[in-house]
């Protein structure tokens, strides 16, 4: 049912041309990320913040502890996106993320290994993963765009309201996956409609990977680094250079800050749910 979409294409476009395009997209991502780092001075920020944290550290964090924190970062923030409190937002993000990874990886595998003379040798699982990756990306992306991205009741933001650079990344992902599926499913129709969808697929992919400097694409690389740095800061006691997190029930703390009972009552830990009283729905 799901055949290799690049097999028939390789009779029209040379496999070497397709491979060169994939390499070019990789270079655009690398170049755009580096430009983003230079422009936003992200590397400098992380370095200086880490240096300040080391100066304020109260404990020495061993290499083994850092390795354990790195593993937790990968398991939580990267693989399971546990930082999202809203289950709908988390599921949408995971569908989009894993769909993108599977789609891109299977695309590269099909183009570099199963085009030209080897086009018919592709195992059925790889084209299946290509289609499932695109479908997963669309499911998570459209769910986010139409339901989670906006809160029409409180903000009056409509689904068709484009937020410039802020929406460039998600729209690039959605258009790439959507036109990829339309191209694949219209190949049996033939004629110009299939090639039109293919052209839009290539255009969307080029915009997505070529706009890294202007979009939120690079945040996928910064987020794990920031999460790891935060875990190290908690472990070494520097607490990201923030004030101490006092125990408000401690008599010494209440003696140091005598206005605590006045503003927070006599039992601060039982002040209620606060912002957690209502599930977060605003993004």
160 and 220 in a common domain: yes
44 and 79 in a common domain: yes
Note whether residue 123 is domain-resident.
yes
Note whether residue 21 is domain-resident.
yes
pLDDT score, position 63: 84
Q: Count structural domains, the chain.
A: 2
Q: Which structural domain, as residue segments, surrounds residue 178? A: 5-236
167 and 134 in a common domain: yes
263 and 170 in a common domain: no
pLDDT score, position 20: 96
CB 127 within 8 A of CB 111: no
Note whether residue 258 is domain-resident.
yes
pLDDT score, position 30: 92
pLDDT score, position 152: 46
272 and 158 in a common domain: no
195 and 121 in a common domain: yes
Render each residue's pLDDT in the chain as its tens digit; 283 residues.
Answer: 688 889 888 888 999 999 999 999 999 999 988 888 887 776 677 777 777 777 777 778 788 888 888 898 888 888 888 877 778 888 999 999 999 999 999 999 999 998 877 767 778 899 999 999 999 999 999 998 888 876 544 555 677 777 777 788 899 999 999 999 999 999 877 668 999 999 999 999 999 999 988 887 877 777 887 788 888 877 777 766 666 667 777 778 778 877 766 666 666 655 556 556 655 554 4
271 and 208 in a common domain: no
Note whether residue 27 is domain-resident.
yes
136 and 87 in a common domain: yes
Nearest to 184 by CA among 135, 150, 149: 135
260 and 125 in a common domain: no
252 and 162 in a common domain: no
147 and 258 in a common domain: no
pLDDT score, position 153: 47
CB 87 within 8 A of CB 280: no
99 and 64 in a common domain: yes
pLDDT score, position 27: 95
Nearest to 95 by CA among 125, 131, 139: 139
pLDDT score, position 62: 84
pLDDT score, position 141: 94
Note whether residue 41 is domain-resident.
yes
Alpha carbons 166 and 129: distance in angstroms, whole number: 29
């Amino acid at each position: 049912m799901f055949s290799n979409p690049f097999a028939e294409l390789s009779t029209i476009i040379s496999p070497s041309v397709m491979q060169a395009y994939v390499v070019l997209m990789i270079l655009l991502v690398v170049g755009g990320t580096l430009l983003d780092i230079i422009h936003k001075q992200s590397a400098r920020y992380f370095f200086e913040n880490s240096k300040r944290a080391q100066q304020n550290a109260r404990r020495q964090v061993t290499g083994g502890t850092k390795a354990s924190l790195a593993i937790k970062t990968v398991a939580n923030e990267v693989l399971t996106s546990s930082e999202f409190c809203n289950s709908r937002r988390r599921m949408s993000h995971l569908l989009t993320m894993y769909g993108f990874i599977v789609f891109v990886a299977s695309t590269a595998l099909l183009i570099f290994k199963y085009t030209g003379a080897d086009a018919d040798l592709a195992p059925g699982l790889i084209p299946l993963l290509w289609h499932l990756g695109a479908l997963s990306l669309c499911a998570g992306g459209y769910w986010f765009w139409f339901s989670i991205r906006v809160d029409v009741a409180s903000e009056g933001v409509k689904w068709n309201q484009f937020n410039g650079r802020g929406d460039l990344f998600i729209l690039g992902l959605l258009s790439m996956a959507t036109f990829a599926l339309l191209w694949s499913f219209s190949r049996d129709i033939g004629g110009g409609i299939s090639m039109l969808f293919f052209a839009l697929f290539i255009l969307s992919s080029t915009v997505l990977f070529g706009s890294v400097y202007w979009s939120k694409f690079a945040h996928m690389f910064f987020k794990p680094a920031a999460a790891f740095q935060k875990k190290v800061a908690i472990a070494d006691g520097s607490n990201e250079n923030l004030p101490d997190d006092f125990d408000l029930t401690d008599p010494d703390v209440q003696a140091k800050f005598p206005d605590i009972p006045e503003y927070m009552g006599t039992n601060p830990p039982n002040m209620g749910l606060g912002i957690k009283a209502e599930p977060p729905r605003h993004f």
